[in-house]
Amino acid sequence: MDCKTFILLYKALVRPHLEYANSVWSPYRKSDIEQVEKVQKRATKFVVSLRNLPYKERLMRLNLHTLKYRRLRGDMTEVIKIIHHKYDNTVAPSLFHNSKSVIRGNKFKLQNQTFNYNFRKYFFTARIVNIWNTLPNHVVDVLSVDLFKLRLDKFWAVQYIMFDWTADLTGTGNSRVYYTDIEARCACIRSSTLLIAEHRINANLQ
């Protein structure tokens, strides 16, 4: 199977099942995260020309992100929808605005809470707070969800978690990172693609 055919089939028939309602069931144990990731890891081997490459490099060649990264991205997308009232307020989860802290982060910063049990600690409204609060205003203060996704991907473009499921988010986003040659090329291509897409969305909004 060639890359183009695989991408079309995988994105249409497989990945939607792996990501359905993932804000609800998102795993936090390493063993569970690995089990979910193995599905994509095995699927990418259907591309014959990439079969013998490491999983990380297969993702780069296919321009696919780890499922772990996409769950984090999905969480942030749900937060932006809730904050900008894309959902009915009577059924959407309650997110508490932190009006006291305005030094860092964004103007939609959320209030952090303390929990004693993992069951509550990794619940959606608890696990998203620290990550959301690190996003700058130019990422979260947008007119559309599509534009938010583009700016978030651009802000996180240097994060190893994009192609390495064992990694975690580090720092606050787009900072200096030393790449291998292939990683540098992929980052350059992603940045150019995202910039073009952002211009198109802005043109449609005007």
Positive or negative CA dihedral for 169, 174, 180, 183? positive
The dihedrals phi and psi of 110, each to the nearest 5 degrees, come to -105, 155
List of E strands, the chain: none
Q: Which pLDDT belongs to residue 177?
A: 39
Domain count, the chain: 1
Please give the residue range of the domain that contains residue 21: 3-205
Tens place of pLDDT for every residue, the chain, 206 residues? 899 999 999 999 999 999 999 999 999 999 999 999 999 999 999 999 999 999 999 999 999 999 999 999 999 999 999 998 889 888 888 888 877 766 667 888 998 887 777 778 889 989 999 999 999 999 999 989 999 999 999 999 999 999 999 999 987 555 433 344 454 455 555 555 655 665 666 666 55
Q: What is the pTM of this model?
A: 0.80
